[in-house]
């Protein structure tokens, strides 16, 4: 008997490249369930783009879809190019916090400002996981990493808040310990236009859990227990806890609609 999500997955690649207990499989599951709920029987109307990092392996090789694996931090501009050439496709970027908010942070901000019509799924495992667990832009203050063994001395970047402030139509953050909420956010994002950003805090047993002496299940519980709903969050009181929920949900014209409005409605195209 086939798995209900068989049509979306390349089962021949399993077991996948992730470490045992990694949260990336939970993100993959939530994404595929959201796509199925949105009414897509297969992935023919999708193009996935990813850069470098563990999370970049979520769409390729796992999804039975067209996907592009590009340079570190460059998934977003590539995805915008795909979307402008093929506006009929759902273009989805999947990447880690180092790829999306660190190396590609400038692209993230300007894609949100342009309200570019793509979905970005940022899997935040709190560090640069694939390259050894170095401190990253979203590493919580005080968390020990391979490059900050006495704890991260810096404040983390709140990527969902940055994206919302820059002009995105949708920004939300959940953890892999909130699988239904995460699926719901992805489903909402898929149903909208403009720039849509869903951050999934995820456990990295290999690079973070080992250092904190947390087994994967303990790590998963910690993500949930350390989360606080956005409406209840008082930054001063919650300190470095993870705020979860919708940062913005609006319907400004996306980049595709904005550019279509520039085309001449009739008569000669002045561009020749
Ligand atoms: S290094 Fe961390 S994020 Fe990467 S596959 Fe292993 S557990 Fe997952």
Minimum-distance ligand 1 atom for the alpha carbon of 125:
3
Does pTM top 0.75 for this prediction? yes
Instruction: Name the pairing type of β-strands 127-128 and 134-135.
Output: antiparallel
- Per-residue pLDDT tens over the stretch 8-65: 999 898 888 999 999 999 999 999 999 999 999 999 999 999 999 999 999 999 999 9
Average pLDDT of the segment spanning 231-250: 79
Q: Does residue 264 surpass a pLDDT of 80?
A: no
Range of 15-19, 30-34, 240-244, 267-271 with top mean pLDDT: 30-34
259 C-alpha to center of ligand 1: Å? 39
Q: Establish whether residue 130 lines the binding site of ligand 1, counting it when its CB lies within 6 angstroms of any ligand atom.
A: yes
Alpha carbon distance 162, 190 (integer Å): 20
Minimum-distance ligand 1 atom for the alpha carbon of 202:
3
More confident position, 234 or 193: 193
pLDDT, the chain, mean = 93
- Per-residue pLDDT tens over the stretch 197-226: 999 999 999 999 999 999 999 999 999 999
Q: Establish whether residue 18 lines the binding site of ligand 1, counting it when its CB lies within 6 angstroms of any ligand atom.
A: yes
How remote is the C-alpha of 128 from its chain's centroid? 15
Average pLDDT of the segment spanning 132-148: 95
Closest CA to ligand 1's atom 5:
18
Task: Please name each of the domains of the chain with its CATH number.
Answer: 22-232+241-250 (3.40.50.970)
Q: Does residue 176 surpass a pLDDT of 60?
A: yes
For residue 203, how many other CB atoms are within 10 A of its CB?
A: 27
């Amino acid at each position: 008997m086939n798995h209900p999500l068989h049509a979306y997955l390349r089962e021949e690649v399993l077991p996948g490249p992730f470490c045992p207990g990694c949260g990336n499989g939970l993100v993959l599951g939530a994404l595929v369930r959201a796509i199925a709920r949105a009414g897509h029987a297969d992935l023919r109307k999708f193009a996935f783009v990813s850069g470098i990092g563990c999370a970049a392996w979520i769409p390729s090789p796992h999804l039975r879809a067209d996907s592009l694996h590009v340079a570190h931090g460059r998934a977003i501009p590539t995805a915008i190019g795909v979307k402008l050439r093929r506006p009929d496709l759902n273009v989805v970027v999947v990447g880690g916090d180092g790829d999306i908010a660190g190396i590609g942070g400038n692209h993230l901000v300007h894609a949100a400002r342009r309200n570019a019509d793509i979905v970005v799924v940022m899997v935040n495992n709190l560090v640069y996981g694939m390259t050894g667990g170095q401190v990253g832009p979203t590493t919580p203050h005080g968390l020990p990493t391979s490059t900050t063994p006495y704890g991260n001395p810096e404040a983390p970047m709140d990527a969902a808040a940055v994206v919302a402030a820059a002009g995105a139509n949708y920004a939300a953050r959940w953890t892999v310990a909130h699988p239904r909420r995460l699926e719901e956010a992805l489903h909402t994002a898929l149903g909208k236009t403009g720039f849509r950003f869903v951050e999934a805090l995820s456990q990295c047993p290999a690079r973070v859990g080992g250092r904190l002496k947390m087994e994967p299940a303990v790590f998963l519980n910690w993500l949930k227990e350390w989360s606080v709903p956005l409406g209840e969050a008082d930054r001063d009181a919650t300190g470095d806890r993870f705020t979860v929920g919708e940062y913005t949900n609006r319907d400004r014209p996306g980049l595709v609609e904005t550019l279509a409005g520039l085309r001449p409605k009739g008569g000669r195209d002045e561009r020749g």
